[in-house]
Each structure stands twice: as C-alpha cells, then as structure tokens.
Structure 1
Amino acid sequence: MSNTTSNPVVDIHTHMYPPSYISLLSNRTSVPYIHQPSDPKADPRLIILDSDDDPSRPKSSRGRPVDSTYSSFNKKREFMKVHGITCSVISLANPWLDFLEPESALRTAVGINDDLERACSENNASAEYSDLKLYAFGSLPLSAPAKDIVSEIQRLKTLPHVKGVIMGTTGLGKGLDDPALDDIYAALSSTKTIVFLHPHYGLPAEAFGGPSVVARYGHVLPLAMGFPLETTIAVSRMYLAGVFDRHPKLEFLLAHSGGTLPFLAGRIESCVAHEREFIANGGQTQGPQRSIWDVLHSNLYLDAVIYGQPGLKAALEAAGSVDRIMFGTDHPFFPPLGDEEGAKWLSVESNKGVIGDSFPNDEEARRKVLGGNAVRVLGLDL
C-alpha cells in the first residue's frame, strides 16, 4: 500500500517531548526529571518512573537515555519517511502534566499546546514537507482547578491542528471514576473532543514479586504487563461507575489495543451481571446500565499497537468493527538496538506486518486501519 493521500498511513500513537517540555523536566530534581550528565557526549537521562530513581545507582545510569529523537521534529519526519508514514498525530509522552502545581498547570499546558500547534502549522504549510503532515493531541492541566481544565478543552477546539487530547489513567489523581471528573467529561463530550488514554503508572512492584524482580528484568514486566493492566483497570472503573451512562457521547481512544480489555470484556460483563452489590441484584450500588460491548462499540476506539496477530484479532472482535481500529507506532520508544542510521524499527514493522497478515485478502480493511479510520474519526486534512 502506498502512502498517498488516497491511501494514507496515519500514526496516531507517536510521542514527543517538545523543547519546552524538555526544559521543564531539566529544571526539576524529583520524579519526573531529566538529568543532564557532566559528559557533553553523553545523552541526558529521563527519569519518569519512581522505580527508575534508584538512589543506589548513579543518575547517569538511571531511567533511559533521551537523544534528539525525543524532541526533534526533523527526527520525527525522518522516521516517517523511513516507514512510509503520511501523517503523525503527535502527543506529549507520559507523565504529561500530572505533576504540576495547580497555580502553574494551566499556563504550562497552554504554552506546550501552543508549541505543538505552531510546529504542526509550520510543517503543514511548508512546501518542503508537503508529503508529511503533522497534527497533535493536546495535554490537559489536570492538576489545575476544574474551570481551568474546561477552559483549555474549549480553547483547544480553536486550534486547527489539535485533534483531541491525551490523558493518563489517574485523572485528577483519584482515577477515572472520580465524580469530580464529571465536569471534565461533560466538556469533552460537548466539544466532541476525543481522549487518547495512555498508561504511565503501571502496577506496584509487588505485583511482579517486588522491586528486585522488576530490576532484574528491566522494563519488561512494567511495560509488557503493567501498562496494559493499568489501562484495563482504569477503563473498567469508568464503566462500573457509570461514566458512559452519564456521558453517552464520550469517546476514548485506548493505547496498546485497550490493554487486556478485549480479552476480559466478557468476564467483566459476567461479573457485573452476578454482582449482588448492584441495585439490579438487590444491592445498594448503581451498577453500569449499558453492556460493556455497547460501550466498546460506541465509545471506545483501539489503536493497533499490539505486536501480534492474536492480540489484533481480539481487538477487532471487541471493537465490533474494523472501523474502530487505528495504526500507531509508539515512536520514539522501542528504537532499534543497533547503530545503523535509517534502520527500520522492529517495533513499527511488526505492527504493520500484523495488520497485513490479519487482512491478507482485504485491501479496504488494511486501508482503514493504516490511515482511513484516523482521517475520518479525527477529521484530518491530508
């Protein structure tokens, strides 16, 4: 499939730490922060998880190295060319702006969102990059007062290159079933703003056997298992709390194919049907009034960042339609481990390969997942 405007390849899961965000983290000394090494040849270190901030290790070896790939729009464009990507919808990577003090949160969000809007606008107006389009998901000042969050949601709708927002799983700090989020959800619904939901906090180290076990295997357990389960738990809490009952037009795009939600949806449905705490079964708590399958088919989209055909098939079955699945890369994370310049990324090619293998005789389905769905859902002008 060629990456033309008639058959675009759109990457809806692709991150950046723009220069203003790099500066913000570089001026911090507690998680999340960026450590600038004394060796000018060494890459800065990004420490965004508490488990990365191990005092027994020197700061020069904590977290992960962050080279210019994380913050350079030129590097993003080079990556797009290598992989035949027509359009990238860029979002700030975790931990977004969750850690900001309330009095500075709105100002910081406005600055970073404007930086992304400006960069996308300049790119899309440039004849040099006419075949590479950029759009963005904005970041919300979730530590700010609710009125500030609502005002930024409304303002973002006036920015032509911002096509939604990205949000973590803690919401205002207490999870996505927090009643205090209702005003936020109402604003997202009324403005028809899609939310890209992305994990960050994972699970406690004890879930994997303790810190020593996590350290032994690096990021494998927190990323491969902790992230998908974090997403699953967050969305399940929203569902159980009736968020989708109260806000039937609310739309979320779930990272990593919805975590384990596609596999566990039937089990969740069964447990809800048998739960004695719910009013429907004689209890005192109002349980969800809609089927989880209805929510999956009406309120949730899933990305295709799953790396395996069984996972993508589960996502397709749970979503109810190929029209609700969108291609993503998770760039700049999971880069090639070698030093070959311009090498294709295994993490990207495996996802593209899975899409091709899942629809070997259905060109239209491949076209939709690789780009057509994103163009339609996000209203992209390519």
Structure 2
Amino acid sequence: MIVDTHTHMVSDAYLDLLRAEGGPKYTFRTLPGGGEVIDKDGVPFFTLLPPMWDFDRRIKDMDAAGVDLAVISLTSPNAIFADLDLSRRAARMMNDAFAEARTAYPDRLRWFAALPWTDPEAAVAELARAVDMGASGVIAVATVDGAPLTDPAYAPIWQAIDASGLPVFLHPSVPPGEAALGLGDYNLSPPVGFVFDTTLAISRMLYDGFFDRYANLRMILAHGGGTLPFLIGRLDVCHANIPACRAGTPRPPSEFLDRLYLDGVVFTGGALDLCIETVGADRMLFGSDYPHNIGDMAGRLALLDSRDVPHRQTARALFGL
C-alpha cells in the first residue's frame, strides 16, 4: 500500500466562506494568465487549481501515479482566523466534508482533522467530534495567527491530541513578518517562507520541552522537515553551549528525533539523503503536495523509491492501516 501523507483538498463552501469573511488578511485576486491566487496580507501563497476540489479527478490521478491511499488535509489558512466563530465554522465545515469524502471513497481516502486553534475550548470539542467521525490525524499550522504552537494557551489542545493517540501533521503557512522579510518579491513564500515557518516551529518545540510534556505525540513534518535536517547539529551545539537554548529541557534536540517523521516532499537526492540520515529510513513517509502547482505524486514517489525507504510499512504502522 502506497500512502500519500501530504496532500490537500478544499471545498467550494470553504472557499466561499474565505472569500466572504477572510478579509482583510486573506484576499483573492485574478492572475494575469487566468485563475486565482489567495494572498495573505498581500503576499501570494495559495494558487487555486481545479483538482483541489474535484475528488473524482483526485482518484484518477492517484490511479495514474500508483498511489493507493491519500490522507487528505486542509492547507493554510486552514481554520485559523482571528474571528473565533469563523474558525469554528471553517473547521466543522471541512471536517464534515472530509468525513463525507472518506465515506464516498472508503478504500482510497483518510483525513487529518482541522481545529479552530484560536478558540482552544472549541478546538478540544472539535477534536473529539473528529475522532468520532474517523479522523486519522490532526493538522497543525506552524503558527496560530502569529502565535507559536508552544504558547501555553494551546496546552489544552495538545493535551487532548496527546491523549487521542493521533499523529500530527505540522504544515507551514506564510510566516509572521512576511512584509518585513519581503516574501512578496518573486513569490518567495512557497520556496523559502514555508520551510522557514516549519523550521522555526519545530526548533521552538525541541528547545521548549514540548516533547517532554506530550510524551505520546508523534509528529510528521512537511517538506522534509523544512531545514531541520541541515540544522539539527547546530541546534544540538547551541543547546550545549547557550544557556537559553537549554532552558526548556535538559535533553538536546536530537534526542527527540525518534518522535518525528519527515515527508518526502524534497526535490533532490542529496536533500532526501540528508533527511534519511537525520531521522532514519523508517521515519520517512511518502508525500506529494498534490494538487498544488509544485505537487507531484509520481515524481516524489520515484525519488523516495530510489532509496531503501520502507515508507509503505511506516505509514501502515503510523495510521493503523
């Protein structure tokens, strides 16, 4: 069984909701060549493509690439909005849609639950509802409307996730400070901003004592873990030599690598080799980033299968398939 763990879908109803109530932070505009893109504070990050809401086409594309099962998730901005009611409605809407999709394609689809993180009490309740509906995991966006996931306000959510036993998919968005970073230039958010967002989030967790507190948590990092494979040695050295880096936990970051999985959404053999060296071949998962414009089921699968990576067995064990 080949399982795609990094692949997204949306619904027409979700896009309608985002159009009507997502502004001024999230806005839609027409591209010069046709089609639409969603901007966050003026920075483009989400090009809308028809396969994103066409489940029949998804299944055909999976068949063509030889993918047996997809664990679908709602990409950024997910259900994370300053308006708490909007967050609650978006999460409920998409979890219902994904549960219905699994019912329609029971042998081909599973799903990560979206949570209204800006309303922790509602997020805990929505997690329980999603578990009852058959969610296979939870997606967490790297920052919650600018706040880090390690903020104490989100502890009740993490406690509930930890108790549920569901794996977490850590996915980036446009990082905070996008204007100061100039991420609007050359559309730098997808190639650079996203991996920075993931890297900052997981580095903070590794220094914070996060994985000490949530002892059962297993986390999948998008895009090969951002730049974590390149930086893990530096994180350890800084933990050993900079007191502030070890204030949250006495354990160096590398001791928590057995809690992490990396998807194979990288684009060179050298990058994949570094991922494998960092977490081990048995912690690598297949991911395609389909149907985004850089998503590629066949290409990412071919690269992963060019190495001795038991991603099929790993996915089956992680998701209880």
**TM beyond 0.5:** yes
Instruction: Output aligned runs, 1:1-382, within 5 Å.
Output: 8-28=1-21, 29-35=23-29, 43=35, 45-52=36-43, 65-99=47-81, 101-124=83-106, 133-144=108-119, 146-160=120-134, 162-171=135-144, 173-202=146-175, 204=177, 210=182, 214-215=184-185, 218-219=186-187, 221-277=188-244, 286-297=247-258, 299-319=259-279, 321-334=280-293, 347-359=296-308, 365=309, 368-369=310-311, 371-380=312-321
d(CA) in 2 for partners of 1:328, 1:170: 21
d(CA) in 2 for partners of 1:42, 1:269: 47
Q: Please state how far the C-alpha of 1:291 moved relative to its aligned partner.
A: 2.7
Q: Please state how far the C-alpha of 1:377 moved relative to its aligned partner.
A: 0.3
Between the aligned residues of both structures, percent identity stands at 30
Q: Is the 8 A contact 2:207 2:253 kept in 1?
A: no
Distance change (3 Å), C-alpha of 1:109 and 1:305: same
TM-superposition CA deviations, 1:346-367 (whole Å, max 9, x none): x4333223223223xxxxx3xx
d(CA) in 2 for partners of 1:277, 1:204: 23
The one-letter code matched in structure 2 to 1:287 is G
SS in 1 for 2:289: coil
Q: Please state how far the C-alpha of 1:78 moved relative to its aligned partner.
A: 1.9
d(CA) in 1 for partners of 2:205, 2:261: 15
TM-superposition CA deviations, 1:151-201 (whole Å, max 9, x none): 1112221122x2011111113641022122221111111111211011112
- Report how many residues are paired: 320
Q: Please state how far the C-alpha of 1:277 moved relative to its aligned partner.
A: 3.8
**Equivalent in the alignment of 1:60:** none
TM-score if structure 2 supplies the norm length?
A: 0.90
Q: Higher strand fraction: Structure 1 or Structure 2?
A: 2
Rg comparison, structure with higher value: 1
Q: Which moved more, 1:349-358 or 1:235-244?
A: 349-358
RMSD over aligned CA atoms reads: 2.5
d(CA) in 1 for partners of 2:19, 2:233: 45
TM-superposition CA deviations, 1:7-50 (whole Å, max 9, x none): x111110001122212212324433244589xxx953x231332
The one-letter code matched in structure 2 to 1:333 is H
Q: Is the 8 A contact 1:203 1:227 kept in 2?
A: no
SS in 1 for 2:243: coil
d(CA) in 2 for partners of 1:186, 1:231: 21
The one-letter code matched in structure 2 to 1:77 is I
The gaps in structure 1 that reach 5 residues or longer are: 1-7, 54-62, 125-131, 281-285, 336-344, 360-364
